[in-house]
Chain A
Amino acid sequence: MNFLDLIWLIPLFPLAGALLMLLFGKLLDPQPPSEVAVAPGVEHTHDEHGHAHDRGSGHSHDGHDHHGHGSPLKKLVSLICPGVVLISLLLSIGAVWQLSQQAQKVHQVIQFTWLAGLPFHLMDGRLATFSADWGFLLDPLSSVMILVVTGVGFLIHVYSIGYMAHDNGYYRFFGYLNLFIFFMLMLVLANNYTLLFVGWEGVGLCSYLLIGFYFHKKSAADAGKKAFIVNRVGDAGFILGMLLMFSVLGTVRFLDVNAALRGGQFHAETAGFGVLSAIALLFFIGATGKSAQFPLYVWLPDAMEGPTPVSALIHAATMVTAGVYMVARSSALFQLTPQTLSIVATIGAFTAIFAATIALVQNDIKRVLAYSTVSQLGYMFLALGVGAYWVGIFHLFTHAFFKALLFLCSGSVIHAMGGEQDMRYMGGLKDKIPITHWTMWIATMAIAGIPGFAGFFSKDEILWQAYSSPLGSKTLWAVGVVTAGLTAFYMWRLMAMTFYGKSRVSREAAAHIHESPPSMTVPLTVLAAGSVLAGWLAVPKAFHLPEIFYTFERWLSSLAPEETLHETAQGAGMEWILMGLSVTVAILGIYVAFRFYQAKPEIPEGLARRFQPLYKILYNKYYVDEIYDFLFVNGLGKGGGEVMGAFDRNVVDGAVNGAGWLTRFSSTVSMWWDTWIVDGAVRLGSFTVKLLSYPVCILQTGRVQAYALFVVVGVLVFFGYYLAGK
């Protein structure tokens, strides 16, 4: 079958699953929603024998299966939702395979035109029509993305069967998760910016729904709102960029845009900040919001309120990478705007080190991973910002594996701990949850950048590009290396505090520690394999290995045709040196963490006491949230409310009162007019008549003889007149 023609099925299956769940889920799985968040992420008491509470959800800790309460309808949900993602995965694999067989690795399918022919004046005066289609574009870049989304998504769906088994919102969760997969696939398969934006907004919506999944809990609901609102700030930039792009180029389809930009009529804006730089910067602002870069990263740590599979899927592997994907997709544009690229790289590097410093002192296991995600996303933008687009996507690829694995493992740990998330109350779990332990160990090695594991290859490539690319600089490289050291440190800190050392677990939690069911551990294992193997698709050039180890770069070679291979003699030597340096830094980070948290636990406490102010600043995340609260939430929100209130009282109510006063005033004037002028005119008339009547009254004597006299006089007048006329 021709998978390429059936691309439209790839997003369709998850959409069908989502609609089924969200429209009919209540019928399929009629459990009442839990009145308070009852989930592994929240402390809840249960009596010693682990009997199920009549709140409707409890842990059965006696070794039985954790699969729900055995409701067959629930099993149906467990079958349908991961199943549709599996179908999408298989279709994606088929489509990508067929794409690779083609000579021209681009396949565009336009289903129908969605927005047709809105007239629009372009910047150079031409009249164009804005039209966007519902079309799919499968090329190497989107193929990588759909494989990541459906692959990791499928594994996380399977994991959720076990993790969310006791949750009353089972069908709702899977419905939202499927909906998210649908929107993410729309985002990466879109053939134009407008459809991409549909997916962009859709994943933002699903993120809000899933973060606020336990909506009865205020902090979760607030986190959901925060995510959506901060995202929106970025989206404003994205829309402006999209419209500006249309007004300059006349099209928003990727292929047409790339053709126009590479066509030669646009020159690289090296001299100053031109309109293309503005477009690129606006797009990057959108990416900043979605991919949690400084200053719009604040939503991601709070997003950990959502269930752990959500954190794994959305805030590690897929949604937050949408910004990276979008910038890579616009590589032709960014290549022409070196100033914006340097902004991208700078913000990426800054975010990386900034978030890493915060992660050093966090105690909640998921917070550490959240800041780690922000930091790794910074790495991806650093790669994009020095022109190495395929390297950024490569890091996205490997990061999806090990970060999803880290989150799922942490979920497994939390599940084992019965809801405890604070690492200060963990420790010594190594032998109790072995599978979780060794998969998390693999993921930690990967993220720290130890050779052989996936993270090493991608991170090292980023550092090499930052150092050697014409758009990079030694400063960027240095920041990257320091961040790598910090990353290794805090990740090993996490491992040490969680798995090694003396157990600090509370007694009631300790009784219930157990390994997760296979539905959770199998995905962990698969992802662990990926965390090792995925990196071998793009080894550094310095290793002169067979061609297959360079697949990734060759596959994405269309991203930036003028990509240079830094393979000079001096280059090779430098690359080895840098590689050695980064590995050393990583091992050093791990060793320091080992010393601090395993060998001599008193060192970190002593350091925290000695550098109390610095520790406080780091622990409180540089007070960024407080600053934003003051400036925007209270400033704009409450201050704006005050202004609006004053406006309402003085201007609006003033207008209403003024209208009332005006009415009364005009009625007074009217009354005066009526009394004096209108009635006056009438009285004047009568007065005049009376005045004129006086002479006439005198004539009316009442004596008949007087009247007779008048008659005679009249006759004589007539006579006189008659005789005179004669």
Chain B
Amino acid sequence: MYPITTAHYIALSAALLLIGTVGVLTRRNIVIILMSIELILNAVNINLVAFSQALRNLNGQIFAIFVITDAVAEAAVGLGILIALFRNKETVLADEVDLLKW
């Protein structure tokens, strides 16, 4: 059996980061983009906790709590912006919101 080392956690975190980044960049629906952002944040959390365990330091975990709090706030605000957007523009698709262009 292979032991689950820190590297596995980092790889998992990296994978989730990449998936989240691609999702932010690629998906049309703003709700999905928000969900992708959550995914990135969670990836960061996993990274932090893994290193906290590896370095036998509690700072990582504490930081992860902060990140969770921050993610929650951000999601709330983001959804509020989305609802306001929908009220004005009748759409939830990112590429239809392109007024600020040349």
Contact = CB atoms under 8 A, between A and B. Distances in A.
Contacts of B101: 700-703
Contacts of A698: 102
B52 interface: no
Best-surrounded residue of B21, B26, B97, B102 (most CB of chain A within 10 A): B102
A712 B97 contact: no
A708 interface: yes
A27 interface: no
Contact of A704 (B21, B94, B102): B94
Nearest to A700: B102
B24 A702 contact: no
A103 interface: no
Interface string A607-648: 000000000000000000000000000000000000000000
B98 A702 contact: yes
Nearest to A715: B21
A716 to B, nearest CB: 10
A712 B21 contact: yes
B1 interface: no
B102 A705 contact: no
A703 B24 contact: no
Contacts of B33: 705
B94 A703 contact: yes
B98 A703 contact: yes
Contact of A702 (B21, B25, B26, B100): B100
B25 A708 contact: yes
A709 B97 CA distance: 16
Interface string B86-100: 000000001101111
Contacts, number: 30
Interface residues of B, number: 13
Interface in A93-150: none
A697 interface: yes
B84 to A, nearest CB: 15
Contacts of A704: 94, 97
A697 B101 CA distance: 8
B15 to A, nearest CB: 16
Contacts of B26: 705
Interface in B10-57: 21, 24-26, 33
A698 B102 CA distance: 7
A703 B95 contact: yes
Given A708-B24, A708-B25, A702 B99 contact: yes
A697 B97 CA distance: 17
Contacts of A700: 100-102
Interface residues of A, number: 11
A705 B95 contact: yes
A705 to B, nearest CB: 5
Nearest to B24: A708
Contacts of A712: 21, 25
Best-surrounded residue of B21, B94, B101 (most CB of chain A within 10 A): B101
Interface in A295-321: none
A539 to B, nearest CB: 133
A697 B98 CA distance: 13
Contacts of B97: 702-704
A702 B95 CA distance: 8
A697 B21 contact: no
Interface in B59-102: 94-95, 97-102
Contact of A701 (B21, B24, B98): B98
A712 B26 CA distance: 12
Contacts of B98: 701-703
Best-surrounded residue of A697, A700, A702, A705 (most CB of chain B within 10 A): A705
Contacts of A708: 24-25
A390 to B, nearest CB: 121
Interface in A137-176: none
A708 B26 CA distance: 10
Nearest to B94: A705
Contacts of B95: 703, 705
Interface string A703-726: 111001100100000000000000
A710 B35 CA distance: 20
B95 to A, nearest CB: 5
Interface in A635-681: none
Nearest to B95: A703
Interface in A16-64: none
A705 B96 CA distance: 11
A500 to B, nearest CB: 132
Contacts of B102: 697-698, 700
Contacts of A702: 97-101
B30 to A, nearest CB: 9
A701 B99 CA distance: 9
A708 B33 CA distance: 11
A698 B33 CA distance: 24
Contacts of B100: 700, 702
Contacts of A705: 24-26, 33, 94-95
A705 B36 CA distance: 12
Contacts of A703: 94-95, 97-98, 101
A134 to B, nearest CB: 101
A311 to B, nearest CB: 112
A394 to B, nearest CB: 123
Nearest to B98: A702
B67 to A, nearest CB: 19
A697 B26 CA distance: 22
B25 A709 contact: yes
Contacts of B21: 712
Nearest to B22: A712
A702 B96 CA distance: 9
A709 B26 CA distance: 9
B100 to A, nearest CB: 5
Nearest to A694: B102
Contacts of A709: 25
A697 B100 CA distance: 11
B44 to A, nearest CB: 14
A701 B100 CA distance: 7
Nearest to B96: A703
A712 B94 CA distance: 18
A705 B100 CA distance: 13
A247 B95 CA distance: 110
Nearest to B99: A702
A701 B97 CA distance: 10
A698 B101 CA distance: 9
A123 to B, nearest CB: 95
A600 B25 CA distance: 154
12 contacts: A702-B100, A703-B95, A704-B94, A704-B97, A705-B24, A705-B25, A705-B26, A705-B33, A705-B95, A708-B24, A712-B21, A712-B25
Q: Which 6 pairs show the lowest CB-CB distances between chains A and B?
A: A702-B101, A702-B98, A697-B102, A700-B102, A702-B100, A703-B98
Given A705-B33, A712-B21, 12 more contacts: A697-B102, A700-B100, A700-B102, A701-B98, A701-B101, A702-B98, A702-B100, A703-B97, A703-B98, A703-B101, A705-B25, A708-B25
